[in-house]
Amino acid sequence: ITIFRKDYTPPSFWVDTVEMGFDLDPKATHVTTRTTLRRNTDSKEKELVLFGEGLKLVQIRMNGQKLARTAYQIDKHSLRIFNPPDNITLDIETQINPIKNTSLNGLYVSNGNFFTQCEAEGFRKITYFQDRPDVMAKYTVMLRADKKKYPVLLSNGNLIEEGKLSGGRHYAKWEDPFKKPSYLFALVAGKLVCQEEKIKLKSGRKALLQVWVEKGNLDKTQHAMDSLQNSIFWDEQRFGLELDLDRFMIVAVSDFNMGAMENKGLNIFNTKYVLANAKVATDADYAGIESVVGHEYFHNWTGNRVTCRDWFQLSLKEGLTVFRDQEFSADMIGTNSGRAVNRIADVRMLRQAQFPEDAGPMSHPVRPESYVEINNFYSVTVYEKGAEVVRMYYTLLGHEGFRKGMDLYFKRHDEQAVTCDDFRAAMADANGRDLTQFERWYSQAGTPRLKVSTTYDAAKKTYEISFTQSCPATAGQSKKLPFHIPVAVGLLNAAGQDMSLKCQEQANPTDSTTLVLEVTKAKQVFHFTNVKERPTPSILRNFSAPVEVEINYSDEDLAHLLAHDSDAFNRWEAGQRLAMRRLLKLTAAVQAGKPLELDTMFIDALSKTLNDTTLDAAFREQVLTLPSATNIAEQLKVIDPHAIQTARHFMRSEITRHLKDDLLTAYESNLTNGKYSPDAESTGKRALKNLALSYLQEWPQDSTFDLAHIQYKNAKNMTDRIGALSSMINAAILSQKDSASKSARKAAQLALDGALKDFYNAFKNEALVIDKWFTLQGSAASTDVKKMRQLLKHPAFTLTNPNRARSLIFAFCNANPAQFHAADGSGYALWADLVIQLNAINPQVAARLARSLDRWKKYTPALQEHMKTALEKVASAKNISKDVLEIINKA
């Protein structure tokens, strides 16, 4: 069944209080729930409908009386009470089986401990309830369990009582002082230990912060704790938002479907986003932890204090909170180029995942109109494009204007469940702006195209920029209306400096070298006066809108921008355009069987950047990183993964052939000795050094392979260790075919096998590191379907742990295009088997994997044929969840 946004109706009853009691037992947990309800006079619905999934109802009482069997009806998904009075006290007892719950949705057991995940609709797997976000209530929770097995008992809010019970059991009672929707409910019980620190909040109040982990992991909590404190102080400073609780807990769990969950006062995290030390975590892991800890903490206001009226409004909290965590990470880096590097990484991700989603069968607006399974809409569109939409308010209204809008939003809606329109209204009203047209960013799917053309009149010293916007048709949306697009623009003179700008259409420019032009019509022209020479336009600075810009730059224009643009984002963008142009030509040449060539102009431009030591290493690394295979595929009508792979590989080896010495210099001059620190400068150095190392492997030479092998053996941190291993496993020397290099090839293979074995043995007790070991192999160019089938049988592999399943399978299906798209369709057959197996264990993870064949209609006819067979196999398998079916049917 499909749920539609237009069908929203208010709940028939409000819930004031919820008192829950849990008798925790892995096989049979008893849950008693007492709720007080009051009729909602705004609702036409007479009955009270409670949702429930897979529950055993033990008893139900209404206002103290056992409810007659004729007074209610139960089906697979709900419990319906006929003719209820206006004021109700409802007592419900249910029994559930957490150990059998492999979906990791609701109450489940992981490594012998209890955890919950209730967003979006997991609470209904615990008890019968109006499990919808606009029903907000105050919760009191009593937990009871065996004291030896479950010494720690946690829930939302404040601990108000604890003590002993008979039979070796104990209890803890928790009270959450704030009203909340059921999706924010959480409990944790088991053998855990914590790192704790007390901090002083802005108001002078004290708060206790705790990071809870399994016993062996206490040496990996400091970074999460630091990130939490930084988040708390940042939200006070930047948005005037203070922690509203006396106690804030983070708990790490190794079996978890997503990244983390913002349950009030009791955030539950995937271990991947908590645990770190130099031995086991990479620079990227450190950055990921900082951003996810920030993200979940920021939800305390944007999500929890003000929540969503219904799940169609998901981006109200997610888009906004991603924007906030992006800003947090940028502020933590501090430097200008650090900010730009973060921005580049975010845009890379948007293009890598969101643009394809927006162009494929699962395309949906930031505020979807319908869904079958809401979990499928925790998407890059709702999160990352949603964050871009919030960023556009920020760009349009300015730093202070945005803050005014946020202040008004909280003033109006604290402790309410609201819509994306309410957010937009607060932004508009606080700034006296009309943002009616801006609504289209929420309702129209698809990535808008923005065509740009320019004319310069040397005699009149005028310059015109014309914009033509359009948006491709997307699933269920054929006609699109113009968007309100903020386009940040600068003009460079021949010396590469910013010109000061005067635009006739712009009333009060705030910054005279970058103007935010507001494009609102299908066609629109902006006139600049007093332009002394023909400029090079820098369009969409800092990626001011999630659109594709089409503009006729010459190679010289792009080289000029790459060398000089004051906007570091567009500097990088110019380099990517130079590369993309050539990658598309090379791909076409591969398909036509023509010889491959790469011009020196491009290589010169790259070498200038690589050798410019006034630029941060992190920025140079971004420039030297080529557009991904997916980026290239997005530009093509028909995707031929093998041609793309060949083209990209050719470009990398040509770059290496010409720049060997420069790459070696970059390698040697960016070594980071001394104590490991994940700061921006060291991180950038390691990134550039490891990129240089991987380029060097494109040129089959023993010495460069040895460089990687030596780095592996001497590595003092995980970033260097995994960087070396990744270089080794993808080294060209391993696939050399001529007999002359046979012994070198053999020696390299031996060294690699030894390193892989050594790595495994050294880290076999660190699950997150073994995940990396699987990922490395799943995405290695040499890992074919046969090798994959072997890896799937490795004793350390399992489908029941999402991190482990993703580490190997998603790496192969999403990051190893040349092997996954094997011409005989064997990769797709493997995919179908795995989707079906995962579906029986964990529908959410299975549905994510199902997305890998989303774009099957874009591939070459021969591949399409095999993909279709695989899709049909999944569609016709038994007991396929609605999660997976929605994806397959849409494809």
- Binding positions for Zn ion, rule: CB under 5 A: 318, 321
The DSSP code for 566 is S
Q: Are 733 and 705 in contact (CB under 8 A)?
A: yes
Interface pick for ligand ARG out of 53, 235, 255, 262 (rule CB under 6 A): 262
Smallest gap from Cβ 383 to ligand ARG, in A, equals 7
Minimum gap (Å) between residue 675 Cβ and Zn ion = 34
State how far the Cα of 320 lies from the Cα of 297, in Å rounded to an integer: 13
Segment interacting with ligand ARG, rule: CB under 6 A, options 259-267, 463-471, 776-784, 854-862 = 259-267
What lies within 8 Å, CB to CB, of 757 at 6+ separation is none
Closer of 298 and 569 to ligand ARG (Cβ) = 298
Backbone angles phi and psi of 261, in degrees to 5: -140, 135
Tokens of 385: 């494009």
Cα atoms in the Cβ-side hemisphere of radius 13 Å centred on 435: 28
Q: Return the structure tokens found at 854.
A: 């989303």
- Three-state secondary structure readout of 227-283: HHHHHHHHHHHHHCCCCCCCEEEEEEECCCCCCEECCCCEEEEEHHHCCCCCCCCCH
Only one of the segments 258-266, 639-647, 736-744, 815-823 lies at the binding site for ligand ARG (rule: CB under 6 A); that segment is: 258-266
Residue 296 within binding range of ligand ARG, rule CB under 6 A: yes
Please pick, from the candidates 35, 116, 257, 447, the single residue that binds ligand ARG as defined by CB under 6 A. Answer: 257
Q: Footprint of ligand ARG on residues 817-846 (CB under 6 A)?
A: 844
CB of 602 to ligand ARG, least distance (A): 40
The vertex-714 CA angle with 711 and 718, nearest 5°, equals 80
The count of chain residues that interact with ligand ARG, using the rule CB under 6 A, is 14
Burial 94-126 (b: 16+ CB within 10 A, else e): bebbbeebbbbbbbbbbeebbbbbbbbbbbbbb
CB 378 to ligand ARG: min, Å:
4
Count of CA atoms in the C-beta half-sphere (13 A) of 736: 23
Residue 20 within binding range of ligand ARG, rule CB under 6 A? no
Q: Does 378 bind ligand ARG (CB under 6 A)?
A: yes
Read off the amino acid at residue 523. Answer: K
296 is catalytic: yes
Q: Which does 91 bind (CB under 5 to 8 A by kind): ligand ARG, Zn ion, none?
A: none
Q: What does 214 bind: Zn ion, ligand ARG, none (CB cut-off 5 to 8 Å by kind)?
A: none
Cα–Cα distance between 807 and 519 in angstroms, integer? 43
**Minimum distance of Zn ion from residue 645's CB (angstroms):** 35
Burial of 42 (C-beta count, 10 Å sphere; 0-12/13-18/19+): exposed
Catalytic member of 53, 296, 654, 698:
296
Q: Quick check: 291 binds ligand ARG (CB under 6 A)?
A: no
Distance of closest approach, residue 63 Cβ to ligand ARG, in angstroms: 35
**Stretch touching ligand ARG by CB under 6 A, among 17-25, 255-263, 560-568, 710-718:** 255-263
Q: Least distance from C-beta 17 to ligand ARG, angstroms?
A: 24
Q: If contact means CB under 5 to 8 A according to the sort of partner, which of Zn ion, ligand ARG, none does residue 484 touch?
A: none
Nearest residue (CB) to ligand ARG, 232 versus 586? 232
Nearer to ligand ARG, 322 or 659 (CB): 322
Amino acid letter, residue 790: Q
Q: Is 339 exposed, middle or buried (0-12, 13-18, 19+ CB in 10 A)?
A: buried
Binding mask 300-319 for ligand ARG (x = CB under 6 A): ------------------x-
Asked whether 60 and 67 are in contact (CB, 8 A), the reply is: yes
Interaction between residue 384 and ligand ARG (CB under 6 A): no
Residues 15, 120, 425, 728: which binds ligand ARG (CB under 6 A)? 120
Q: Is the Cβ of residue 72 or residue 115 nearer to Zn ion in the bound state?
A: 115
Within 8 A by CB and 6+ apart from 737, the residues are none
Decide: 146 and 174 in contact? Cβ < 8 Å. Answer: no
Q: Which of Zn ion, ligand ARG, none interacts with 120 (beta carbon under 5 to 8 A by kind)? A: ligand ARG
Tokens of 219: 């040496």
Among residue numbers 318 through 357, which ones bind ligand ARG (CB under 6 A)?
A: 318
Beta sheet of 523-528, edge-to-edge order: 523-528, 462-470, 449-457, 548-551
Q: Which of 48, 184, 243, 261 binds ligand ARG (CB under 6 A)?
A: 261
Q: Is 258 in the site for ligand ARG (CB under 6 A)?
A: yes
Q: Are 624 and 606 in contact (CB under 8 A)?
A: yes
Q: Indicate left, alpha or beta for 245 from its phi (over 0: left) and psi (-120 to 50: alpha).
A: beta
Least distance in angstroms from the C-beta of 321 to Zn ion: 5
Nearer to ligand ARG, 103 or 704 (CB): 103
DSSP structure string for 404-463: HHHHHHHHHHTT-EE-HHHHHHHHHHHHT---TGGGHHHH--S--EEEEEEEEETTTTEE
177 binds, among Zn ion, ligand ARG, none (CB under 5 to 8 A by kind): none
Q: How far is the CB of 121 from ligand ARG (least distance, A)?
A: 9
Residue 260 in the binding site for ligand ARG (CB under 6 A): yes
The CB-of-193 to ligand ARG minimum distance in angstroms stands at 24
d(CA 513, CA 500): 5
Contact region with ligand ARG (CB under 6 A), list: 254-262, 391-399, 430-438, 540-548: 254-262
Name which of 296 and 310 has its Cβ closer to ligand ARG. Answer: 296
Q: Which residues are catalytic?
A: 296
Which residues are at the interface with ligand ARG (CB under 6 A)? 119-120, 257-262, 295-296, 318, 375, 378, 844
